[in-house]
C-alpha cells in the first residue's frame, strides 16, 4: 500500500500535469481511484481488521471515482453545449448536437486523458495493472471524474476553464469539417481498407409524426458502436453518423 509521502508526491505530480492546484487534494485522490483499487483496499482493510479483532471496515474503504464520473459527465456536457451555443449562433440544433456528440465521445475524452497523462497517476487494483494500455472507457471516465473534482474544489468557472482548455481544439476540428461530403462512402472506404469490414447503421430512435419525423442513427463497425447522427431522413442521419465516426477514427489514429 502507498504511504502518505508517496501519495502526496503522486498527487502533486498529477496537479502539474493538469495545470490546476487543488485546495482539497482528497478530491483529486478520489477522482484517481478506480473501483478495482477500492476492492483491493477493502480486502487489505478487512485483513487488518481481522488481525486487530475488528470485524468492520470503515466507509472510507468503500469510496471510488464513479460518483465523480457521473457528475463530471453532466458538467462536461453543459460546458460544451454552452460553448457551442454561443460560439456558433448560425448553427441549427442538429449541427450542434452532432458536434457535441463527437467532442464528448469516449475516444476524444480518452485522448485528452492520454495527453494529460492522467492514467499514470491512477490508483488501480492488481487486475488492471496487467494491461499494456488501459481500456478506452477507463481513460475517458477518469477525465470526467477529474472535471467533477475541479468543479467541487474550485467552482464552475475553474471547471469550465479546464474543460475548454482541452476540448476547444476538438470543437474547432469538428466545426471545420462542416462542408458536405459523401461521408458514408468515405467511411466505407476507410473501414474496408483498415478493417476489411463494411460499416452498418442502426436506428436508435424515431421522433415526431410522419411528415416531420426525425431519426437518430448510430454507426457500427464490427461489434463496436461509434457516433450517432440525427436527421429528417434516415439518409441524412446516416451521413451525419458517418461524418462523426470518421472524426472519431481520426482521433483514434492520433492516439496511435
Q: Which CATH architecture has domain 4-175?
A: Orthogonal Bundle (1.10)
Q: Is 64 known to be catalytic?
A: no
pLDDT for 125? 62
User: Using an 8 Å Cβ cutoff, are 165 and 81 in contact?
Assistant: no
pLDDT for 6? 83
Residue ranges of the chain that CATH labels 3.30.160.20: 183-255
pLDDT for 137? 86
The pTM assigned to this predicted structure is 0.64
Q: What is the CATH number of domain 183-255?
A: 3.30.160.20
pLDDT for 146? 96
pLDDT for 228? 93
pLDDT for 79? 97
> Residue 130 burial by CB count (10 A; 0-12/13-18/19+): exposed, middle or buried?
exposed
Q: Is 206 known to be catalytic?
A: no
Tell me, letter by letter, the H, E, C secondary structure of the chain.
Answer: CCCHHHHHHHHHHHHHHHCCCCCCHHHHHHHCECHHHHHHHHHHHHHHHHHCCCCCCCHHHHCCCHHHHHHHHHHHHHHHHHHHHHHCCCCCHHHHHHHHHHHCCHHHHHHHHHHHCHHHHCECCHHHCCCCCCCHHHHHHHHHHHHHHHHHHHCHHHHHHHHHHHHHHHHHHHHCCCCCCCHHHHHHHHHHHHHCCCCEEEEEEEECCHHHCEEEEEEEECCEEEEEEEECCHHHHHHHHHHHHHHHHHHHHHHC
Residue ranges of the chain that CATH labels 1.10.1520.10: 4-175
Catalytic residue among 69, 73, 83, 153: 73
pLDDT for 58? 47
pLDDT for 199? 95
Catalytic residue among 69, 144, 153, 216: 144
> Which grid cell sits at 140?
475517458
Residues 16 and 13: their CA atoms lie apart, in Å, by 5
pLDDT for 23? 95
pLDDT for 61? 45
pLDDT for 106? 87
User: Taking the chain (256 residues) in consecutive chunks of 10 residues, what is each chunk's mean pLDDT?
Assistant: 80 95 93 71 53 52 77 96 91 82 88 92 67 78 96 97 94 67 84 92 89 90 92 88 89 70
pLDDT for 129? 53
User: Using an 8 Å Cβ cutoff, are 232 and 214 in contact?
Assistant: yes
Amino acid at each position: 500500500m502507498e504511504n502518505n509521502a508517496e501519495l502526496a508526491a503522486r498527487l502533486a505530480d498529477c496537479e502539474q500535469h493538469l495545470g490546476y492546484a487543488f485546495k482539497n487534494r482528497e478530491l483529486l485522490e478520489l477522482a484517481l481511484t478506480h473501483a478495482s483499487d477500492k476492492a483491493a483496499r477493502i480486502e487489505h482493510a478487512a485483513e487488518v481488521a481481522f488481525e486487530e479483532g475488528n470485524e468492520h471496515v470503515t466507509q472510507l474503504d468503500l469510496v471510488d471515482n464513479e460518483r465523480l464520473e457521473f457528475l463530471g459527465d453532466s458538467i462536461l456536457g453543459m460546458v460544451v453545449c454552452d460553448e457551442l451555443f454561443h460560439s456558433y449562433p448560425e448553427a441549427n440544433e442538429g449541427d450542434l448536437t452532432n458536434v457535441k456528440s463527437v467532442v464528448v465521445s469516449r475516444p476524444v475524452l480518452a485522448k485528452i486523458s492520454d495527453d494529460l497523462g492522467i492514467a499514470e497517476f491512477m490508483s488501480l487494483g492488481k487486475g488492471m495493472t496487467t494491461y499494456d494500455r488501459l481500456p478506452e472507457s477507463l481513460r475517458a471516465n477518469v477525465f470526467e471524474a477529474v472535471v467533477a473534482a475541479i468543479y467541487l474544489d474550485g467552482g464552475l468557472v475553474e471547471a469550465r476553464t479546464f474543460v475548454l482548455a482541452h476540448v476547444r481544439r476538438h470543437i474547432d476540428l469538428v466545426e471545420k469539417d462542416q462542408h458536405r461530403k459523401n461521408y458514408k462512402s468515405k467511411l466505407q472506404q476507410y473501414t474496408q481498407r483498415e478493417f476489411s469490414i463494411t460499416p452498418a447503421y442502426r436506428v436508435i430512435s424515431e421522433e415526431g409524426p410522419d411528415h416531420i419525423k426525425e431519426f437518430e442513427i448510430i454507426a457500427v463497425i464490427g461489434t463496436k458502436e461509434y457516433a450517432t447522427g440525427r436527421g429528417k431522413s434516415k439518409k441524412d442521419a446516416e451521413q451525419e453518423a458517418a461524418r462523426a465516426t470518421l472524426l472519431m477514427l481520426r482521433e483514434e489514429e492520433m492516439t496511435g
